[in-house]
Every structure is written in C-alpha cells, then in structure tokens.
Chains A and B, each alone.
Chain A
Amino acid sequence: MINLDESQATRAQYTSLYLSVLILASLCLGFLLLAPVDALAQLIASFIVLIVISLCTKEARHTQRYQFYFRTIALVLAIALTARYLLWRGIYTLSYADVLSCIVVWLLFIAEIYAGVTSVLGAIVNAYPLTRPLQTLKEVDPATLPSVDVMIPSYNEDAAILEVTIRAAKMLEYPKDKLHIHLLDDGGTDEKINAENPVKSAAAKARRHDMQALCQRLGIHYHTREKNEFAKAGNVNSAIQNTHGDLIAILDADHVPTTDFLDRTVPWMLKNKKVFLVQTPHFMANPDPVERNYFTAFSCMPSENDMFYGTIQKGLDYWGSSFFCGSAALLRREHLDLVGGISGESITEDAETALDLHKMGYESVYVDRPMVSGLAPETFDAFIQQRMRWAQGMTQILLLKKPYKTQGLKWYQRVGYMSSIMFWLFPFARVIFILMPLAYLVFGLQVYQASLLEVIAFTIPHVVGAYMVSTMLFGRTRWPLVSELYELLQCMFLLHALVKVLIKPRAPSFVVTPKGESLDKTYVSPLSSVFYWLLSLLVIAFFAGVYKLVTEPLLWELTVVVMLWNGFNLLLLLSVLSVLLERKQVRKQARLPATNSVVLHMENEQGWVGHLMDLSLGGAMLRLKGEGTTVSEHAVLRSWSHALNRYVNLPVIVLDFDKKQNTLRVRFVPETEEQKNELVAFTLCDSRRWLSFQRRRMREVSYWFGAKHVLGVGLKPVYLHTLVLVGRLARKSGLMASPVKDKQ
C-alpha cells in the first residue's frame, strides 16, 4: 500500500515536471511561431525544418527503438510549420480593398484554418496507434462464457445476401447454446404491411413471408416490429427488448462474419467489465466505384476504408475513443441498457451510441483484424448516398451532442471525436479551394496577398510538411492524392447535404445504402453534370489566367501561383471524370486472390492437384499441376478450410480450361445445406485470408510514385482523348494522311 502511494506520488511528480517543461517549451515555441521574420530568412529556416521532417519520417517508418520518438518529432515539427503558416496568413496577408474581397479572403482563410485544425487533430489522434494482441477463447471454460445475440438488421436486402450472412453467423465458433442469431426485418413491419399503397403492402407481406421462411429454414429467430421508427437504431432497440443475450453482435445484412469473429472479440469483454464495445474493421470484398472505375487496382493498392480501419481507429483506440461503426461489432447489453439501447437522435446512430457510453466512462476496444466482409456500394450514386449519410450524421452529432464540450469525456476523447467529425466538413473547404482561383483569375479579387517568395517560404513548406507527415501516418493505408480525389468527388454533393443539416439539424432521415447492385452495362453517372460545370469553370479560369499573365505582367508572381493552384485542381478534376464512367461489371461477386491448395476430383475419379488463383462465392480460378490434364464438366473441389478446420468438398462446374496455362475457371454448384455452408465458410469465413489480402495491398509507396500513379491513371483517358482529337483535326486539315480503308 505504501509502495503504491509512493509510486503514485513519483508518477504525479514526473507528470508535473513533464507538464512544466511542456508548457515552458510550448510558450517558447509559441513566441517563435509568432515572431516575425522576412521571407528569405523564413525560406532558409523552413527548408531546413523540412529536411529534418524528412529525416525523422524516414526513421519513423523503420521498426527501431526510437521509431515513435522520431514520429513525435516529425509531427510536432509539421504542426509547428502549419501553425507558423496560419499565423503568418492571419497577421500579414489578410488585406482587402472592398467588401467582396474581404469575404473571399476570409472564406479562404477559414478554409485554411479548417484544414490546419483537422490536420493537427489528425496528428494527435494518430500519434501512437495501438496494436492489440490477438485474444482467443480457447483457454476459457465454455460454461463461463456470456450468451451472445447476433443481430442482423435488414431493410430491403435480397434474401440471397441475407442467407450468406446468416449461414456464416451460424458457423461462428461459439457454444451453440449461448449463440442466438436474429434477423431484424424492417422491410416487413406492421406499418409496411398495413401501408395504404396496396403494392407496397403486398410487397411487405411477401417479404415478411420470405424472411420468416428463410429464418425457419436456417434455424434462426425472426424479428419485426410495429412501426419503422428510428430506422436501424429503432430496429435493433426493438430486438434488444425481446432478447436476453449478455452480448450483442451487430452485423449488417451484407456483412459476413468469419468463424473466429466471437473468438477474437469476446475475450476483450471478459477482460474488462467496463468495455462496452469491441469494434472490428469492415473488410470490403468488392471495389467501390472509384477503385473499380478509376484505378482498376483493387487488389494492389489500399482501399478507401483501409485508412480508417487500418490507421485511424487504432489511433482512436489508443486515446480510448474508437467508436462503433454500425456493424462488425460486439456490444454489452448491460451498458446499452444504460443509454436506452442504440441512440437514434442522428442518422449515424453508431458513433452517437459510442459517444453516449464514452461520456459515462465506459471503454471501447478496437481489434484490428478483418473478420467481417461486406459489400461496398457498387455505383457512384450509391457511394455518394452512403457518404451523405455519414457526413450528415456526424454533423448532427456535432450540432446536437457537441462532443467538444460534452461532460464526462476526457480531453483526448473530445479530440478523437472532433477529429472524426470535423473531417466530414471537408466539402466547405474543398469547394473553396476549387473555386477560389476563379475569384482572382476571372474576377480579379485579391485572394492571397503574398509575394512568390513568401509563398515559397511559408506556404510550400507548410504543404510539403503536411504531406510528409501524412505519408508517414497513412502511407501504408492511403496513397498520395487519393484523399484529394475522394474529397473532390464528394464535395459538391456533400456540401448540399451539410447545408441542409446546418439549417435543420434534425431533418435528415436514415437512407439505407443500396448494396449488391449489378452493373450490366457501361454508362455515365447521372451525377456527372456538376463536374462538367466545374471543369468548364476551371478551364475558363485557366484561360483567364493566361490572359492576365499577358495583360498584367506586373502581377505575374501572384498569377503564376494561382494558376498553378488552379492547374492542380484542373488536373484532379480531369482525372475524376473517369470515375463517373460506370463500367460494366462482369461478375456478381468480386473475385479476390486466393492461394489455397486444392484437389480437383473429376468425374472419371481422377484427381488433380493444384492451387487457387482467385475465389468468390460464385466460383474460382485455379491452376493445376502436372501435364496431360483431362477435365470433365462436373468435378468436386477439395480443399482445407481454415474456417471449419477440416476439408471441404465443393461440387463445381468447369466453365473454361486453358490447357496452355493449365488454368481453369469453375463455378460452385452446392447442392446440400452442408455444401452451401461449406462454400460460405470456405470462401468468406476465413479471417486469415482477408488479413493476407489486406496486407498484400497495404504497402507503402513514395510520394512521387503515388502521385505519378494517381495522375497517370487519371490523365490517361484525357491523354487518349487528346490524341484522338488532335489526330482528327490533323486529318481534317490535311496535315496527316487518312488511314486507307479496306474496301472489302
């Protein structure tokens, strides 16, 4: 007891010392950041600081003893450079001649402050990402395990999608007497069945019937309710009142859990009774529209949500503020009851619930292992719809819950929530950054009162420093310029949605993101028109800039700076055009790489050994070993299933056989319930497979490689378009001979 007191006293003493040094050093730094310095002196200092940041980030990326020390130095340096830049902007550059200029100048500065604040919050959140060890229930007496209700809320999803999820849930490694699966059907509520519209009413009745039949067939519980109040939150809360499990696992309709989901998450609930949430990543088994239409590099570059689940949630976990993401999570009923179930004030009920419980002092855990595979929205339209919900929901939390001053939250939890929420205000800043060059180039408004030398001394180091640190923090999970691309794609739509929330914070309603849509033809997204307008404006600005450069040579410094800025926007905008071209999707399910060894048993009882090349629920591609393979139309694929811990035998139909490569494509044709379960387990229930796939694409690239890749991919269609157009013009003008047409 005495020792404990001494230890606490020593700790408090050290804390006081640390804080004293910190305050003193911060005051000195604050003074130096405020201290005025001419541009050339600042240029020298800034570039030396950039060199130091570069060296520190390099050291921070290597696993070594002082890795996190260098990481901290780099973060503080970059934050200091950003603060220096914003102070300089605020003190010296905000001059204007008229009211209009004043508005424009301040809009731009506010956008820059926003960007600065979010990058500082991001740096704090991601300073020390937490990597938790894997836990298992293998050593725990099954009798002591808590009971678990697995809830699968559904609104209008296909039965086929739900069946896969339910089958996977049923195969979870957990004592069967303590595992209860529930389908929460909001598509067949009494309200919908009694709808005035007879067509809708009939459809609801049919859905309830189908869902009840599905549940009966698969042996799970069916739930529905009277009214569709509070959307998904209301649906889950209704089910909570009718179930009794100690823990509640929530899975979206398309979120297929791996068999070890509970084995890896429940231990954290057992270790600490204050834990109300164990969240796991959402692993997307198919590319989103940007990945499919733009990069076509789904399997070799990080996915969009890899940054959030691979880095940010780990950072939030360190600060005890990882939050509920609506699915792929385990919650404690006891704690949920304290806040009346899932919160429903906003349309992002998940984050809101976590906030309510965090402020009561309960804790959350983030397990960084992909154990749920879901579907990303297939179309750009659906993608935007999903992001609008997130943006509106997070803004609702900001306005209604005010996490920055919520009682009960620790300061770092407030920082964590504010970081996550403020990110979604990016449309305001992004739109300002896109349109601001026009204000100067077209309308002649002074948007940025600085010389070229000052821009090089203050602005460039701030931007470069921020990029360096961003690469250090997110380099493995987000390639350079990808964030800009995603923001650009969403900003105009999200801006509209955010303005609506700001005007009426309680107005937005929950809209289910369409999943599992099929694209049977290539077409231009109906949301494209706004980008055409933007593109036209930026092209006008470009030519206005050229005109300004010629007619006002004295302003060349500022004009060049703004034109470069406009050029960057133009380049990004040109490259996003290819995203808007929705490409035809050949397969219903995206095939992901696989390497399992397999034996293919032919009808003639021959067996051929080989390995998988890719795999999906529908089929697979495999390469056989040996020569002289003869392939029959029907076969049985035998392979070891890590999920089930035994061999599975899956009937297949051979679609195509390439004798030269010795590869063949097969389609799974499970016949029995057991085979269907085995197929789901083999294809979707092995977390090691998702982990390996994730690691394969989460690799770090240099800034220049990433930027080159993004711009290269984006500019290729533009380049091709230009080539074609120039060729056509040249032929018309006779400069180039027309290709000789083959008359036959």
Chain B
Amino acid sequence: MKNNWLTFFMLLGISLTAHGQSHVYKLSDFVAGDSIVRLTGSSASLEVAIPLSSVAEIERAIVQLDVTSSQALLKDRSQLFVRFNNATIGQIAFDPTRPALTSEVMIPKSLWRKGFNTLSLSVSQHYANQCEDGGASELWSEINLYNSTLTVENTVNDNRFTLNELSGFFNPGIGGQRDVQLYTASEPNPSVIEHTLPLIAQALALRNQYQPLVVKHAVFADNGGLPTLEDDAQDTWSEETLNRYRRSAWYLDADSRDRVHVLVGTAQALTPVLTEDEKKQIDGPFLKAQRTPAFVIGDEVIVPASYRLIVSGTSDDQVQDAATILSVMDDAINVTSQVKIVSHTNTTASSLQRNRILMPDNHYTFEDMGVSSAVFRGKGSFNKRVSFRLPADFYVIENASVDLLLDFGYGASIGPGSVMNVTVNGEFVHGLALDNTHGQVFRNYKLRIPARTFKGGVNIIDLDVVLNAPLAGVPCSIVASNHLAFQLNNSSAIILPDAGHVSVQPDLSLFSQTAYPFARFASAPHTIVAVPSHAFFDSALTLIGKLAQVAQTPLLNIRVSVGTQVSEEGSTIVLGTPDSLSELEQTQFSTAIASTQKWSYRLQNTLYNHIRTMTNDKSFRGMEVDGYTVQESELGEQGILLAQAHPLSSEKDTLFILAAQTPDVLNERVKDLISLSLWGQLAGDFFAWKDNLAPTLAMQVSSKYEVGETEDRWLYLRLWFSNHPWYWLIGFIVAVLAISTVLYFLLKRRNKEIQKSW
C-alpha cells in the first residue's frame, strides 16, 4: 500500500514536470471592481480579459464557475453561455430548484491566443415563454468571481530565445515571470550597484507592466568549484565535459528552469561565466539573449537549461549604457539574440519622464493617445475607457478647465433610455440622452470639465453608453435590437490647460500612483534609495522596479546608495531596521523609527484618524502633531513606511523610511507592499502592514509642505498662499493700514492748509 502511494506521488510529480507549471487564478484577479457580478435582464454579458504571455504554451485550462441564479428563472430557456474568444465552450442551464451551482468548463488549448483572451459569460434569462418584461427584477444571476477560478497548466514554448521574447517572459499575463535574479561578479564595481542594477530591475519590471516583479541580486563565484558527480566513472572531468559545464548556467543557485536570469558586468567581470567566444563578442554596450544548455551527465541533469540575458560592455559605463537601452527598447523589433549599442540620444531622465505623459497646455486626439475608435452594436451597456497620464505634480488654477471634444454618433431608431454618460476619475461630468430617432452625429461635441476633476498621474475618462431598442407599442412584441449602433471616433480630442508643477508633500497616495517625487515632469532631480548594507539590496531593487512600473518609465535619476550616510540632497528612500536607522537624524520627526521608537498614537493627536488627499485639502486646519510616545520595542513582523520632509535637504525634498525588524522581514514586507492589492492602498504619510491584504494602520502625522518646480514660482506662491491664507490676509491688512495711515496724514495736512486760507 505504501509503495502504491509512493508510486502515485512519483507519477504526479512526473506528470507535473511533463506538463509544466500549474497555476490557479481567481477570476477576480482579471476584473477590476466588485468580485460579485450580477447579470440582470433577459440577456446580459460579462467579459473577462485574460492575458497570456507570448512565450507561454497552454497545456490545459479549466474554468470553474461559482454561480447563483434567481429561482424565478424558467428552466430550459435560462442558460449561462461560456465563450472563449467568441467560441462557445460551455452551456450551463439554470435550474430554479438548484439556484447555486458550481460548474467546470474546459478551455480547449487551440482557442488560446497570445496577448489578451476574452472569456465571455453571457446569460439568457427568462421567467415566461411570452409577454415577458425583459427588465423584470427577477431576471438575475450572480457570478462570484472571487470563488470562480481559472486553472492553467503551461510551459514555455520552444522558440529560439531572442531579445524580442523578453516581453514574453516578463509579461503581466499568464506564463509571465514574477521574479528575476541579477547575477554579478562577487565584488562588482560601485557604479553597477548604484546605477546599473537598478536600471535593469526597472527595465524588467516595466515589461511586467502592473504585475509585481521581485528582483534578487546574486553573485557568481569567481572560481566556481566543480560539482561532485554521482557517477564515479565520470568523476574525472574531461576537457569536453568541462567546456560543456562552463557553457551551462552552472552558477545558478536556484532552479531557474524556464525562467530568465540576468548576467551583469563588464566582459572582464563576466569571465568566469562566459566562454572566450562570448567574451570576444563584447566590444561595446552589449545585450544578449541566450539559452544556456543543460549540463547532463548520463540521465542526470546536473545544471538545467536556462534562459539568460547578458547586459555587458567593456567598461562599467558601457554596461550602464546597455542597461539604459534595455530599459527603453521596444523588444518587438529586436528579433535577434544580441545587440551592440553604438550610440543613443534623448535618454535623459527628464525627457523619458516627459514622454510618458500628456503635456499641459496641449491638444491631443484620442488617436495620439493610442486610443482606438469604438463601435457598440445591439442592445446593452457599453464602456469605452480612455486612460492617460498627467504630470504627477499637475497643478491647475481653480477655474481652469479641460475641454473634451468628442466625435461620436448613433444610428437611427434608438429606443428610450439610451444615454451616453461621461465620468472622469469616477466623477460624473456629463450625460446625454440619445433620443433622436433619426440618429445623430456630433463633431467636436464640447464638454468643459473643471480641471480640478483631473489629478496628477493616471486619469480615466469613461464613456458609458446604454443602447435600448425602441418600444414596439404593441403588447408582447419585442423590437429587435441588432440595428442599434453607437460609434466613438478616435478623432475625439482633449485640450489641456496650462498647469504648474506643484505638489503637496508628504503624500504616500501620490507616491503610489505616480512615484512622485522620484518621477516628476518638469525636471528629474537626483533621487536615492539608501540601504545600510547589501542585505537590503534585493528590497531596494524590487522597490525601484515598482516605482518604474508606477511611473511607466525608467527612472534614470534614481540610484542606490549603500551605507549609513544619507545624502543631503534629493528625495530619498531609506531602507533599514531600527538599529540601522538609529544613525539617521530623526529628531525633527513626529514619528521616528530607531532603537527607540517615537510613535504619534492616534489618540494623542487631533489628526488621529484622518487621511486626507492633501492636494484637495482645503480645511487649512493645523497639521501639526500634538503628542507622541517614545518607547523601546520591536517592529515584529510588520513593515513601516514613513514619509516626512527631508531634515537635511536645502531644497524641499521628501524622506521616506521603509523599515522592518530584520532585512529578511523587510524583504518579505516589500514583496507584500508591491503587490497589486496593497500598493493601491498606500495613503497618508505613515503606513504599516503585515501582509499583502490590508494595512494595519495608515495615518497622516506630518506637517504638509509644498514642493514645486523652481521656475514656476507664481504657481508655487498660489499654493503657498492657498494653504496659508492668514499670511496673505495679515500682509494685506498691514499694507492697507500703512497706506491708509500715510494717506490720512497727507489728507489731514492738506485740509489744514485749506483751512489756513480761510
């Protein structure tokens, strides 16, 4: 019996190996918003977009649905249709006697496509055979996306590993890589640590788009010893065996099968891991995608095959150049395994940041923004989302407005209740009844939207369209709705007002949305991630990768600094433990983390539970913290992220402190922090967490201050006066009093002179 069980597990293991990796995803991972979706009416549909990496080969995929339906639904006529890329793969009948059901549907391998795949869940719901009200409240069914799952087994395809495949490995879709190891020589040059590795971390994280990427730094041994072979006959290493071994990725300290790792360093530094031929190829900034062979002795795989990316050059500067190009290059056009960079331009930090955003005081068509035209047909609710980025420190005057010029039209014979609603960042800004039965076409349909509706960072304009069929006017007669049509053209445009570059700090919410102040618009001052020792380096790289994802551009202005000295200039993130942070000047802080902690407990302050969007904070209430407690304790398993004014900087910079009790705990907490679920919850200027679900505490504990671009002092002044109206008022009254007093004396003197003449 025991042997049977052993055999079973062995077979299972072999099976998994043969069929690649198996992953279970919740459908709610692919859908924004509520995890329970209710489909109402006689017909309704939910579309779930499932991304698939270009290097992934799906072996097996099963979708399991958790559905609850109304008991009023008519059996046989009420069904849930499961379609994948428009092909029907399952039909689930609703049974009024069994309102809750769980159903599994296999997704045929052949239906999967690289990129986005659409899983459609459509319902046809009826409570009667005739004379049915299509909008009756009993026509509903619910799909619990959190409980519904997609189980996928996938492998990496057998294509040649070229640079264009990088975007397949580092991809937000299924099959994408979620962690990466960066290998350097054991004692890399400081510039590699400071600049090159952060750049590579950003380059790969950017390819992952929104999916977190955990970055690890490892070193290969300069004189790597040979492994001990089990087969005594092969114990002696022949030349040929040694060459084969050297060609393999022998230095990998973890199983990196089907995954890409990165080798970073000059050709000289990479000598232990490259062959002479490979080294000769490196005569400038150099990028190479390479598939290393497995090192097999007999049946034993000593070193598995792997994918590696070489970022190299003949000098450290060239390695950094190669990393820079890796962070900006479009993989799709590099259908080759290696490139040598001859020269590059316009790869400065500020120009790259500027290229990712819409510039204020400009006119952009949707086409310019990469938004396609949309055509909606038939009855139902439709949405067209236009997403764009504004500078993180986007600051407009009170009455500035953004003009939205829409080009759209709808067809004839449209029914009552057909509307187009426009929302900006979830705020309703316009509604239009589509009520011309002859159809209508609009060109430059102008919506003047207050610019304060928009914010720094990602902005979303949603155009929600509801198309209804006309009423038949005869009972129990339904007019077909396939003639209904709505079209939104991408010639539609947005006109942005002039804006300044001012931000209120500290603000973790803005940090999470835009990576501000590490990513800016008008300039890219140097910023730093400071780590006390190499033990914190992985956390730093992972965090830098996340910042690049948030900024959607490589942050060339960011560098890693190792040591306990914190730079006096530039916004800084200091990683550390209470012990390492003891050397940091924190006396001015209302909350401090060191060997003794200074906590501003909520009940000690009037601000105890207030987190406000600082840029919209018009209350002008004092933001000073009244009280705090100094104590000796440990941080335990939690991570703490603090943001305060940089105490040493001559400019107004922000100092972030990211702390945990030990480097390992910090690494785990950073992984939690960059997760999709927790990163979006960053708020206030004090953030504590223990897992990736929710913060344990988020507060606002520091005085706010403004950070602005020095060249636009006028707008900066506006913000300052707006936050300190009393200064304006006092100045105003004093000036008026001075003028009045002088005028009074002059008037009185003239009056006396006139009276003298009497």
Give 1 or 0 for each of A18-30: 1 = CB within 8 Å of chain B CB: 1001101110110
Question: Distance in Å from the Cβ of B299 to the closest Cβ of chain A?
Answer: 74
Q: Contact: A21 with B738, CB < 8 Å?
A: yes
Task: For chain B, residues 679 to 723, give those with C-beta under 8 angstroms from any C-beta of chain A.
Answer: 714-715, 717-718, 721-723
Q: Which residues of B contact A68 (CB under 8 A)?
A: 744, 747-748
Q: Contact: A132 with B739, CB < 8 Å?
A: no
In the complex, whether B5 has a CB less than 8 A from a CB of chain A is: no
Q: Which residues of A contact B748 (CB under 8 A)?
A: 68
In the complex, whether A52 has a CB less than 8 A from a CB of chain B is: yes
Task: For chain B, residues 215 to 242, give those with C-beta under 8 angstroms from any C-beta of chain A.
Answer: none
Q: Contact: A29 with B620, CB < 8 Å?
A: no
In the complex, whether B397 has a CB less than 8 A from a CB of chain A is: yes
Q: Which residues of B contact A77 (CB under 8 A)?
A: 736
Q: Which residues of B contact A93 (CB under 8 A)?
A: 399
On whether A271 and B758 interact (CB within 8 A), knowing A36-B715, A41-B722, the answer reads yes
Can you list 9 residue pairs at the A/B interface with Cβ under 8 Å?
Answer: A22-B738, A36-B717, A41-B725, A49-B732, A72-B744, A76-B739, A272-B757, A318-B754, A449-B401
Give 1 or 0 for each of B742-758: 1 = CB within 8 Å of chain A CB: 11111110110010011
In the complex, whether B429 has a CB less than 8 A from a CB of chain A is: yes
Q: Which residues of A contact B715 (CB under 8 A)?
A: 36
Which chain A residues have a beta carbon within 8 Å of chain B's beta carbons?
Answer: 18, 21-22, 24-26, 28-29, 32, 35-42, 44-45, 48-49, 52, 68-69, 72-73, 75-77, 80, 92-93, 95, 97, 127-128, 130, 132-133, 271-272, 318, 446, 449-451, 453-454, 554
Q: Contact: A97 with B732, CB < 8 Å?
A: no
Nearest residue, chain A, Cβ from B447: A554
Q: Contact: A18 with B725, CB < 8 Å?
A: no
CA distance A42 to B757 in the complex (A): 47
Q: Contact: A37 with B739, CB < 8 Å?
A: no
Q: Which of A18, A48, A72, A449 contacts B399 (CB 8 A)?
A: A449
Q: Contact: A41 with B430, CB < 8 Å?
A: no
Nearest residue, chain A, Cβ from B722: A38
On whether A130 and B751 interact (CB within 8 A), knowing A39-B398, A72-B743, the answer reads yes
Q: Contact: B735 with A32, CB < 8 Å?
A: yes
CA distance A45 to B724 in the complex (A): 10
Question: Distance in Å from the Cβ of A54 to the closest Cβ of chain B?
Answer: 14
Q: Which residues of B contact A272 (CB under 8 A)?
A: 757
Q: Contact: A451 with B758, CB < 8 Å?
A: no
Q: Which residues of B contact A97 (CB under 8 A)?
A: 403, 446
Nearest residue, chain A, Cβ from B731: A32
CA distance A28 to B431 in the complex (A): 47
CA distance A69 to B741 in the complex (A): 7
Q: Which residues of A contact B398 (CB under 8 A)?
A: 38-39, 92, 451, 453-454
Q: Contact: B758 with A25, CB < 8 Å?
A: no
Q: Contact: B728 with A37, CB < 8 Å?
A: yes
Q: Which residues of A contact B746 (CB under 8 A)?
A: 18
Q: Contact: A25 with B735, CB < 8 Å?
A: yes
In the complex, whether B106 has a CB less than 8 A from a CB of chain A is: no
Q: Contact: A25 with B732, CB < 8 Å?
A: no
Q: Contact: A48 with B729, CB < 8 Å?
A: yes
In the complex, whether B737 has a CB less than 8 A from a CB of chain A is: yes
Q: Contact: B750 with A22, CB < 8 Å?
A: no
In the complex, number of A-B residue pairs with CB atoms less than 8 Å apart: 127
CA distance A97 to B722 in the complex (A): 29
CA distance A97 to B403 in the complex (A): 10
Question: Distance in Å from the Cβ of A78 to the closest Cβ of chain B?
Answer: 10
CA distance A80 to B743 in the complex (A): 14
Q: Contact: A454 with B721, CB < 8 Å?
A: no
Q: Contact: A45 with B757, CB < 8 Å?
A: no
Q: Contact: B728 with A45, CB < 8 Å?
A: yes
Q: Which residues of A contact B740 (CB under 8 A)?
A: 69, 72-73, 75-76
In the complex, whether B618 has a CB less than 8 A from a CB of chain A is: yes
In the complex, whether B450 has a CB less than 8 A from a CB of chain A is: yes
Chain B contact residues: over half helix, strand or loop, or mixed?
A: helix
In the complex, whether B733 has a CB less than 8 A from a CB of chain A is: yes
Q: Contact: B743 with A554, CB < 8 Å?
A: no
Q: Contact: B733 with A29, CB < 8 Å?
A: no
Other 7 A-B pairs with CB < 8 A, given A32-B731, A38-B618: A36-B714, A36-B718, A36-B721, A45-B732, A76-B739, A95-B401, A554-B429
Q: Contact: A44 with B742, CB < 8 Å?
A: no
Q: Which residues of A contact B747 (CB under 8 A)?
A: 68, 72, 127-128
Q: Which residues of A contact B431 (CB under 8 A)?
A: 554
CA distance A554 to B715 in the complex (A): 28
Nearest residue, chain B, Cβ from A135: B758
Which chain B residues have a beta carbon within 8 Å of chain A's beta carbons?
Answer: 397-399, 401, 403, 429-431, 446, 448, 450, 618, 620, 714-715, 717-718, 721-723, 725, 728-729, 731-748, 750-751, 754, 757-758
Q: Contact: A37 with B722, CB < 8 Å?
A: yes
On whether A37 and B735 interact (CB within 8 A), knowing A76-B740, A133-B758, A449-B399, the answer reads no
Q: Which of B448, B732, B742, B751 contacts A32 (CB 8 A)?
A: B732
Q: Which residues of B contact A41 (CB under 8 A)?
A: 618, 620, 721-723, 725, 728
CA distance A69 to B754 in the complex (A): 18
CA distance A28 to B731 in the complex (A): 8
Q: Contact: B736 with A29, CB < 8 Å?
A: yes
Q: Which residues of B contact A76 (CB under 8 A)?
A: 736, 739-740, 743
Q: Contact: B745 with A37, CB < 8 Å?
A: no
CA distance A95 to B403 in the complex (A): 12
Q: Which residues of B contact A95 (CB under 8 A)?
A: 401
CA distance A467 to B182 in the complex (A): 74
Question: Distance in Å from the Cβ of B174 to the closest Cβ of chain A?
Answer: 42
**Centre residue among B717, B738, B743 by max chain A CB count within 10 A:** B743
Nearest residue, chain B, Cβ from A42: B725
Nearest residue, chain B, Cβ from A45: B729
On whether A38 and B736 interact (CB within 8 A), knowing A127-B747, A128-B747, the answer reads no
Question: Distance in Å from the Cβ of A687 to the closest Cβ of chain B?
Answer: 20
CA distance A557 to B418 in the complex (A): 27
CA distance A311 to B618 in the complex (A): 44
Question: Distance in Å from the Cβ of A134 to the closest Cβ of chain B?
Answer: 11
Q: Contact: B758 with A132, CB < 8 Å?
A: yes
For the complex of A and B, list the 10 residue pairs with the smallest distance between their C-beta atoms, beginning with the closest.
A36-B718, A41-B725, A25-B738, A38-B722, A29-B735, A73-B740, A45-B729, A28-B735, A37-B721, A22-B742
Q: Which residues of B contact A72 (CB under 8 A)?
A: 740, 743-744, 747
CA distance A73 to B747 in the complex (A): 13
CA distance A49 to B446 in the complex (A): 39
Q: Which of A35, A271, A554 contacts B717 (CB 8 A)?
A: A35
Q: Contact: B732 with A38, CB < 8 Å?
A: no
CA distance A318 to B753 in the complex (A): 11
CA distance A38 to B723 in the complex (A): 9
Nearest residue, chain B, Cβ from A74: B740
Q: Which residues of A contact B754 (CB under 8 A)?
A: 130, 318
Q: Which residues of B contact A73 (CB under 8 A)?
A: 736-737, 740
Q: Contact: A25 with B739, CB < 8 Å?
A: yes
CA distance A38 to B728 in the complex (A): 12
Nearest residue, chain B, Cβ from A73: B740
Nearest residue, chain B, Cβ from A38: B722
Q: Which residues of B contact A45 (CB under 8 A)?
A: 725, 728-729, 732
CA distance A76 to B732 in the complex (A): 11
Nearest residue, chain A, Cβ from B497: A95
Q: Which residues of A contact B714 (CB under 8 A)?
A: 36
Q: Contact: B399 with A451, CB < 8 Å?
A: yes
Question: Distance in Å from the Cβ of B424 to the closest Cβ of chain A?
Answer: 12
Q: Contact: B620 with A21, CB < 8 Å?
A: no
Q: Which residues of B contact A38 (CB under 8 A)?
A: 398, 618, 718, 722
Q: Which residues of B contact A453 (CB under 8 A)?
A: 398
CA distance A41 to B401 in the complex (A): 20
CA distance A681 to B736 in the complex (A): 52
Q: Which of A40, A52, A92, A132 contacts B397 (CB 8 A)?
A: A92
CA distance A44 to B723 in the complex (A): 12
Q: Which residues of B contact A52 (CB under 8 A)?
A: 733
Nearest residue, chain B, Cβ from A56: B740
CA distance A80 to B620 in the complex (A): 24
CA distance A37 to B620 in the complex (A): 13
Q: Contact: A44 with B725, CB < 8 Å?
A: yes
